[in-house]
Chain A
């Protein structure tokens, strides 16, 4: 084999000279310390790729063909949310994160050569802090669910392990709950639900209060609820109840909703979590997303916070500079006693969110949120005109996610819509005992035109009408 575009020293001539300088006769000599039993001789016969190198022409052709076998719903765009949202990604966001200086950089361990990346991450933290009105934001977690799981572990540490119960809403995102359980089970944490009213979709405060006690580490709220879209109007009261029993208050948010709703910092939240996915990341079939975590200005909370923090400081010439801070919380310093094992995170997604928020500003974000609100409410009304459809199902206010009850199983209807070129809805059966087979979550955003909503309504009428 000769040279290779990505392996500059692969040419046998170059390699031979290097081996001579090392003082060995062959590459094999550099592996002579691997005991025979541990060596693997059959490598070249392994069915990996085509066996040997391919040209870029062939690689691009293969990828093009594979991406061609992905069905993309454009007209209309997907009406599917569930803790992630179809939203427009401004082209500038994508361009900035593709710049090699950001894209191909490592964690900024050497601040002097990484000032731009550090500043961009500091700006992400700062923009998110304004959105949430929380003082400290890290950058970052894998997604909403892992930010929540780590927030829960943090709450247990905050109480020095003396409180190990978590109260979560009955309608909580089922997958977030599974992740929460996987992370907290080894630490003897018990996750318990508080009731949500089946008529309004709002928390039953009395039920929450009856469950509170000296062993509750934290109360968690989704705001709005990811699986029903309902905006919890008692968000302050829930926080007060949590604090009244000495528990921490964790609020999980859709960041775009913060354009319209009081931020967690004004609801008494100690920790805010959420997903930065709608801030210019796209759906990406599962990831990369952006786990958000924020805490208020409290040394005990900050010291227990996992993940990377960037801070503003000065350099030796007195100029403003940025660096990774409070690293004694992290694994590379504290090892087994670290606040988390997290290292690689979603830094580039945080940069994307920073670009997105800088572009949209307060008015742009509000505009996107308002458009989504109007179009979603129009959709809820249009669907209510379809025979047999209850829309919206719940009495509580919503923004752009809402629940409908269909006269047929939601999974079946979803399939029928898909055959008509429409991807819509998350079936809700089992999310709460009172959500049944016909219940479905729908999502409408700035990607949807009026005619898209009309297409959905017409297709739904057809799907429900036929046998």
Chain B
């Protein structure tokens, strides 16, 4: 199948600037109003002297410009996006109608609860369903992203120890070396020291190392299960006992929830706090990087003086009383607000539609098919010597699998990045590459339940072809991609202090000799 992405020589919107063009006619203030208030008056010391350097285009040109840019983008609607740990599901269109409902443009976050019963009911359901899915006792939909859910969790861990008078001693959060980068980054943002523990050969956390790491300074442990290797952490109950025994809390990074959905729940494995990504497991779109939503849920574990973990949640919780829905804003014990307003409405509406449409049985099926898809892919790759499956190769994977291109690299010089570019040329989005860090030349593949069997087969075939081409001509992979909107991007130039160009303004000022290198 030949693939060719659009390749417009589309100028920057600034280069389309034409004097006299306009894309929007603002309303004119009526004459009586102007007469009543007199001419526009601005404080002279801060009145803008020169208009901003925005381009002038007609609506026609703006529509074509961004349509062409969209044609040079690639989403789940374009084809498979098997990015590991990103859970790129199809985003059901029925939800778009309501998530982008023009009525919502006028709904202010300070509108009283009586006015927004429909939205609160949607949020309440998502909140309650998440409790069941995770096996937790309380949830808030407040966090704007998975990483903010993590920060919420870390701040709750902090508050837990603070309320128990142990914060001074509890300085460390333990994270496995296979963790997402956000885990250690969130722990640091929450003011903790991060201690990484290694992964054992069998793909589980190295228990000896964990035993040595856990101690009186342990505030908590952040872990994802299944791990980023797509493997279920077989000793999770032992891990939980160890951390709880030392007085720490257990945090579940829900990025990989699809791998156990319908079969196991973090709340039953000993986790105290968990976040989920509605833009992963629950099918709201990623939007090219966001907006997302990272609800965080907890067990009603006692903290001190009648306070439980549920009281520590940030942001509002929806409560239902006699068919009426109300927002309950956080109290004294809470870690507070992590954003100005309640939540990201659009992803919540989307997740509601997805969960409602599937129901409990449909959600289990989604999780199971994602696991079957992963293992089917690995089965198709068997016997191809260019790729290996490090860590417990015989164990079934869950939602994702990490394949190493190291054998191919040793044989031909082709890297994981080259393989990724080869996949782009064949019409697929690439896997997540060079992650997790513990696998060399890592290709992290996650099809989710949305992918067809035919596409999984074509993808596996593409990997074999890529290996074959690299063997025939080791120089060839370096020339990929050819069929995408651009050829291989020059990252050195993109980042060099003399050439780094984060805005058109920098480009212009540099040409005018008004700014120097970024150093």
Contacts and interface: CB of A to CB of B under 8 A. Distances in A.
A117 B507 contact: no
Given A106-B86, A426-B110, 19 more contacts: A21-B380, A22-B372, A30-B372, A44-B361, A48-B132, A62-B356, A69-B117, A104-B77, A106-B88, A110-B429, A116-B70, A125-B502, A129-B506, A282-B106, A289-B341, A308-B289, A319-B487, A344-B277, A349-B287
A101 B70 contact: yes
A-B pairs, 3 with minimum CB distance: A100-B77, A367-B26, A186-B191
Contacts of B290: 140, 288, 344-349
A69 B252 CA distance: 35
A309 B502 contact: yes
B373 interface: yes
A220 B286 CA distance: 32
Contacts of A370: 26, 29, 40
B106 to A, nearest CB: 5
Given A38-B236, A131-B52, A173 B485 contact: no
Given A105-B75, A450-B30, A313 B100 contact: no
A285 B116 contact: yes
B308 interface: no
Name which of A145, A182, A426 has the most chain B CB atoms within 10 A of its CB: A182
Contacts of B151: 341
Given A49-B358, A326-B500, A103 B489 contact: no
Interface in B467-519: 481, 484-491, 493-495, 497, 499-507, 509, 515, 518-519
Nearest to B46: A262
A449 B285 CA distance: 36
B364 A338 contact: no
Contact of A84 (B109, B368, B488): B109
A105 B502 contact: no
Interface stretch (B53-61, B206-214, B299-307, B402-410): B53-61
A60 B52 contact: no
A158 interface: no
Residue with the highest number of chain B CB atoms closer than 10 Å, among A62, A146, A187, A358: A358
A67 B223 CA distance: 37
B360 interface: yes
B34 interface: yes
13 contacts: A9-B449, A34-B234, A66-B119, A116-B73, A186-B158, A284-B345, A316-B490, A319-B486, A321-B486, A366-B51, A367-B27, A374-B29, A374-B33
Contact of A341 (B189, B335, B372, B453): B189
B336 interface: yes
A450 B90 CA distance: 46
Interface string B326-360: 00000000011111111111110100110111111
A319 B9 CA distance: 9
Contacts of A104: 75-78, 81, 88, 90-91, 285-286
Interface in B366-416: 366, 368-369, 371-373, 375-376, 378-380, 395-396, 398
Interface in A1-48: 1, 4, 6-10, 14-15, 18-19, 21-24, 27, 29-35, 37-40, 43-48
Contacts of B277: 344
Interface in A93-129: 94-117, 119-123, 125-127, 129
Size band of the interface chain B makes with A:
35 or more
Contacts of A135: 502-503, 505-506, 509, 515
Given A38-B264, A287-B345, A102 B70 contact: yes
B203 to A, nearest CB: 10
B397 to A, nearest CB: 8
Given A49-B355, A49-B358, A283-B106, A60 B432 contact: no
A311 interface: yes
Contact of A18 (B88, B453, B503): B453
B263 interface: yes
Given A8-B453, A282-B105, A112 B481 contact: yes
Nearest to A288: B291
B23 A365 contact: no
B445 to A, nearest CB: 14
